[in-house]
């Protein structure tokens, strides 16, 4: 009746195979290669009754590789598909119910937070949807602050929303919530000064100083380094910033521990003075060495009492003191496995120390030569930091990277941040979690330590089925992220996902989420490349497709066995694996620089699914024929919606202009024989800036409107690159056309034939 039980809610789940005919429609991949009809559509929605579907967690925050969960591990093994979760737990949300309550209701046994998928036995008792324990409803929970009514616990916001945030009580604090603390560590060696990054960073900081997340307690500090480490006393009352140099890098110490991290509001004028002066302070330096290790040790000592965020800007291979590195790149051995892992454990150990003191280290690598990112990345990976990489950075000679740094910094400095965070994932009894992917430290089997958490970080989790799920028709997953907000509030963000359990193999295929599957496999392949070899990882990816399609073909009757058949839900699986092979992470040959390869691996391990898919399979549009047909209206502006093109050079015509949206970079390829009207109406031939000129005509207006709309839909503002047909940069554009043959990889059609051969063996 009024309080539906789990069994009643799932009563309408029967006949899954009948309800999902489209996802199960067999597709002959070699004959039907029209990938566009399926690329833009979202993953299949869990086949739940309408109440559960309405209440379920958004797939943008939390999704599973299989939206129909096999009842047993043996059924999962037969399907040959991976089971796992993809999380984007702290993403920017426009609607987030925030609950302030003295009582946060949780299961007394497994500590699951009350959620839309629990069942109320009566007004006074509720049954946990993860461990099935019956719990009492606390008195306070009987009152609903939204409806201001009493006696309707099932209508409270935490039972009506699968994503909620609680303001936590003091029970959730080991110490008073920390203030927002930001430390900037700048490489000022000759190499760094030559690259000219410092003026961009200082200008960005000056512009966004008041937008840094925080409150009246926010603190900030600066360290610079070359062959020595320089600190800056910014204590209120000084007439100007005071530089303190520590040349004893083998045993680095803090010269004045109390005046190096200062209250940002009290010392604002001194901070501004320093930011204005810094870019010119080292102009004539002859120092070529980089003592990054000692500078990081100093940063750790400075941040340990509070925790916070360290932003490190590095331009070369560290060459002095602890943590120094030697070049390991041999152009003939670029695909060798041994250089994909770190050369020293210094950076990992330091990161774990930082994590223990609630400090995350973010790395900005602006390098013109090999810098051993495989070693340096450890400081961010294990402290829950993030990594930004700008190869061949130069503020004048490489304006694309300079603009990218500027745009990344604007987002980086102003986006939401959570401090001293931990994240725990719980799941229905019978399921177990065994491997995590992302930037964090695993504190216990299901608890991740995140010194900082940001809205652009993603995580992946591999799972298995330990016990049969025969006693339930639904399973649930819940992730709880406990963090301190920049305003000093302790908060808990909860996401809950509920999925049906199925007993037939065909239903498992019906609920396959190809995008989630490929993202989980990509994470696993990165680990395989580092622990074993690149060729092993590539073989494993091919086997994943071959095994799952073989299993499907042997299950589905009446299939032509000599053809390559996939269920509609998996029709893009081979295409995405081929796209992975063409990423720098998994490319073969010696053309890929080691740092580039390692950076792409870092991105795969730490990006949310939506960013990763855009990187893997970009969107290609033709933009020289934009019309208002099918246009959408956004904020009183008409935005054209050109059709997507397949990622193949056969779609590029000599008289067209094409836009490739790769997520963080958008490239316009302008053909040599462009119509004069396009040149003058849209691009203005003589100007090749990073933005389109504002011309007073319809073509220009439509093109700018469409590109602005694409940019607005992304957290990271992409750099716009205009490439002429004869430009060397055209090769980069063509690298993204994953359906075409390259020197090191099949075309899509050839890859399908290769898979077919493997299956028929």
Q: What is the mean pLDDT of each run of 10 residues along the chain (761 residues)?
A: 38 37 82 64 54 85 95 97 97 93 92 95 92 93 79 86 92 87 98 96 98 97 98 93 95 92 96 97 95 98 97 97 91 68 96 97 95 97 96 92 93 96 95 94 89 97 96 95 95 96 94 96 96 93 96 77 84 95 88 91 95 91 86 87 89 83 74 42 45 75 86 76 78 87 88 92 76
CATH 3.40.50.410 residue ranges for the chain: 181-414
Tell me which residue of 38, 3, 8 sits closest to 22, measured CA to CA. Answer: 38
- Give residues with Cβ within 8 angstroms of 39, minimum separation 6: 572, 617, 644
- What span, in angstroms and rounded, lies between the C-alpha atoms of 372 and 594? 8
What is the predicted pLDDT for the residue at 375?
97
Distance CA 345, CA 218 (A): 32
What pLDDT does residue 723 have?
79
534-555 helix and 748-760 helix, angle to the nearest 10 degrees:
70
Which of these, 199, 610, 617, 664, lies nearest to 411 by C-alpha position? 664
CATH code reported for the domain at 181-414: 3.40.50.410
CA distance 601 to 587: 11
Structure tokens at 475: 């399973």
The whole-angstrom separation of Cα 690 and Cα 702 is 18
Provide the residue count of the chain: 761
Select from 3.40.20.10, 3.40.50.620, 3.40.50.300, 3.50.30.50 the CATH code of 618-735.
3.40.20.10
Predicted confidence at residue 36, as pLDDT, reads 65
d(CA 623, CA 202) in angstroms, rounded, equals 37
pLDDT of residue 689: 47
The pLDDT score that the predictor gives to residue 662 is 86
User: Is-contact 462 140, C-beta < 8 A?
Assistant: no
Q: What is the pLDDT of residue 3?
A: 38
SS3 659: strand
Stated pTM of the model = 0.92
According to CATH, where is 3.40.20.10 located in the chain? 618-735
Could you tell me the strand order of the sheet in which 459-465 lies?
A: 62-64, 84-87, 459-465, 431-437
Please tell me the predicted confidence (pLDDT) of residue 6: 41
């Amino acid at each position: 009746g009024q309080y539906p039980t789990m069994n009643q809610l799932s009563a309408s789940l029967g006949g899954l195979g009948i309800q999902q005919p489209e996802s199960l429609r067999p597709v002959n991949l070699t004959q039907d290669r029209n990938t566009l009809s399926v690329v833009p559509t979202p993953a299949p929605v869990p086949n739940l009754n309408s109440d559960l579907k309405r209440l379920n967690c958004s797939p943008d925050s939390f999704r599973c590789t299989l939206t129909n969960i096999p009842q047993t591990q043996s059924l999962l093994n037969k399907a040959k598909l991976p089971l796992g979760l993809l999380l984007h737990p702290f993403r920017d949300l426009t609607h987030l119910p925030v609950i302030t309550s003295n009582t946060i209701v949780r299961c007394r046994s497994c500590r699951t937070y009350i959620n839309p998928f629990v069942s109320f036995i009566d007004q006074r008792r509720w049954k946990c949807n993860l461990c099935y324990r019956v719990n009492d409803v606390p008195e306070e929970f009987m009152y609903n602050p939204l409806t201001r009514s009493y006696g309707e616990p099932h209508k409270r916001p935490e039972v009506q929303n699968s994503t909620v945030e609680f303001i936590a009580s003091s029970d959730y604090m080991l110490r008073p919530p920390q203030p927002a603390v930001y430390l900037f560590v700048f490489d000022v060696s000759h190499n760094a000064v030559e690259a000219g990054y410092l003026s961009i960073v200082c200008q960005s900081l000056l512009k966004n100083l008041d937008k840094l997340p925080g409150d009246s307690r926010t603190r900030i500090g600066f360290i610079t380094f070359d062959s020595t480490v320089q600190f800056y006393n910014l204590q209120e009352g000084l007439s100007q910033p005071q530089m303190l140099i520590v040349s004893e890098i083998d045993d680095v110490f803090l010269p004045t521990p109390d005046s190096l991290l200062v209250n940002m509001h009290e010392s604002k004028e001194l901070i501004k003075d320093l930011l204005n002066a810094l870019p010119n302070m080292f102009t004539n330096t002859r120092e070529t060495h980089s003592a990054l290790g000692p500078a990081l040790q100093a940063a750790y000592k400075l941040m340990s009492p509070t925790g916070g965020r360290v932003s490190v800007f590095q331009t070369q291979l560290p060459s002095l003191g602890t943590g120094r590195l030697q070049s390991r790149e041999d152009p003939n051995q670029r695909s060798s496995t041994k250089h994909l892992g770190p050369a020293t454990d210094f950076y990992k150990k330091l990161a774990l120390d930082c994590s223990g003191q609630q400090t995350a280290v973010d790395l900005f690598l602006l390098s013109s030569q090999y810098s051993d990112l495989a070693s340096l990345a450890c400081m961010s990976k294990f402290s829950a930091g993030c990594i930004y990489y700008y190869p061949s950075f130069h503020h004048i000679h490489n304006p694309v990277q300079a603009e990218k740094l500027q745009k990344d910094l604007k987002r980086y400095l102003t986006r939401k941040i959570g401090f001293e965070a931990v994240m725990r994932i719980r799941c229905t009894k019978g399921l177990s979690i065994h491997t995590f992917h992302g930037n964090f430290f695993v504190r216990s089997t299901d608890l991740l330590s995140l010194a900082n958490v940001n809205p652009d970080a993603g995580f992946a989790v591999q799972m298995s089925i330990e016990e049969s799920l025969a006693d339930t028709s639904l399973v649930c997953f819940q992730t709880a992220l406990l963090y301190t907000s920049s305003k000093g509030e302790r908060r808990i963000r909860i996401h809950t996902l509920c999925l049906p359990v199925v007993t037939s193999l065909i239903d498992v295929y019906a609920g396959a989420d190809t995008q989630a599957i490929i993202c989980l496999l990509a994470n696993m392949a990165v680990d395989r490349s580092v622990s074993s070899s690149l060729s092993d990882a590539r073989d494993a990816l091919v086997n994943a497709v071959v095994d799952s399609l073989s299993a499907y073909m042997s299950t589905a009757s009446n299939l032509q066995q000599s053809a390559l058949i996939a269920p509609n839900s998996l029709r893009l699986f081979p295409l995405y694996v081929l796209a992975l092979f063409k990423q720098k992470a998994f490319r073969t040959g010696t053309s890929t620089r080691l740092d580039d390869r390692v950076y792409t691996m870092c991105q795969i391990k730490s990006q949310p699914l939506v960013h990763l898919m855009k990187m893997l399979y970009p969107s290609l549009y033709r933009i020289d024929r934009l019309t208002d047909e099918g246009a959408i209206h956004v904020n009183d502006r008409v935005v054209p919606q050109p059709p997507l093109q397949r990622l193949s050079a056969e779609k590029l015509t000599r008289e067209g202009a094409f836009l490739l949206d790769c997520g963080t970079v958008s490239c316009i390829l302008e053909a040599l024989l462009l119509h004069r009207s396009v040149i003058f109406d849209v691009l203005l031939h003589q100007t090749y800036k990073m933005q389109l000129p504002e011309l007073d005509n319809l073509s220009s207006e439509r093109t700018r409107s469409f590109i602005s709309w694409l940019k607005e839909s992304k957290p990271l503002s992409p750099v716009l690159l205009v490439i002429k047909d004869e430009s060397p940069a055209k090769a980069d554009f063509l690298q993204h056309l994953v359906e075409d043959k390259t020197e090191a990889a099949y075309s899509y059609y050839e890859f399908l034939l290769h898979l077919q051969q493997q299956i028929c063996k």
